[in-house]
Structure 1
Amino acid sequence: MRNSGLPEAGDAVLTLPPRYLADPQTYAAVTAIPADAPEAEQVRIARARRGLAPEGYRALREGPDIAAVLAAFHRAAAALVRPRLAEWRERRLRGARAAAQATAEQSDRLADGDVSHLAEAVVRAEEPSAYGKFGRCGRLDVYRA
């Protein structure tokens, strides 16, 4: 995830019908999959939200004024994610931005003939902290950041 995992952190708003985009609680009621719910309940919720997304997409495509309907969706999606922007900013600064800055610094050092950072390389193995969790696009194994 090149954006520090933001899609799995909730920045991808599903194209649900407008009635589900009214507020974060309504949206979460049909999209959140509780990690502690029984497997059958998790599958039921995932399938239900999968079914709602095309319904909402059709409303975007078949509206009498597609531009106005799309703009309304964009406003609703922005309102849904606004409470999480500070958290995402920190995630981005610690993750994607920090990695890009480190790469730029290493490239600059290489251009100057400085290869000392190569001696800092290590090999490590990571194990997932959770297996088979439902994500936006199916199941995923979760690794600590």
Structure 2
Amino acid sequence: MAQKTPSVCNRQSSKVYVFSRDEDKQKILSYQNGNRGFGEQASKVLIVTSNMEHFTSIGERNQCWIDGGMYAMSLVYALHSLGLGTCCLNWSVECRVDKQLREVAEISDSEAVIMMIAVGHLTDELKVAQSPRKKIEDVLIIK
């Protein structure tokens, strides 16, 4: 389903790495700071990347984040439609941590790590952080 995500010039730069073994998931999640207290419950840990070799000019320097972000969102919606729970895990780390993850996960230097996604089956009852959504008039500006 996520393969139908639009991308600039239909270049389809995104890729997903799936980690299933407990030791692999623990190692991968050790580089991400927002999963404490629930990360170990994920049945899968995904890393979404975007290959920067698909973009050729300085004007496209940020396109991997747009295409990769859209792909990640489509992937999350697809997994939810199949009854799985997901948690988007940001990838806002220092260069040295990014390099360490790439080495462990065998991710090419030509790929930008967009985010991680924890995936699993949801329980009937679950405690989650909840933030109210902004009002539509605060985000929709009609001119």
Shorter-chain TM-score above 0.5: no
Q: Which has the higher strand share?
A: 2
TM-score (norm: length of structure 1): 0.26
Larger Rg: 1
Q: Which has the higher helix share?
A: 1
TM-score (norm: length of structure 2): 0.26
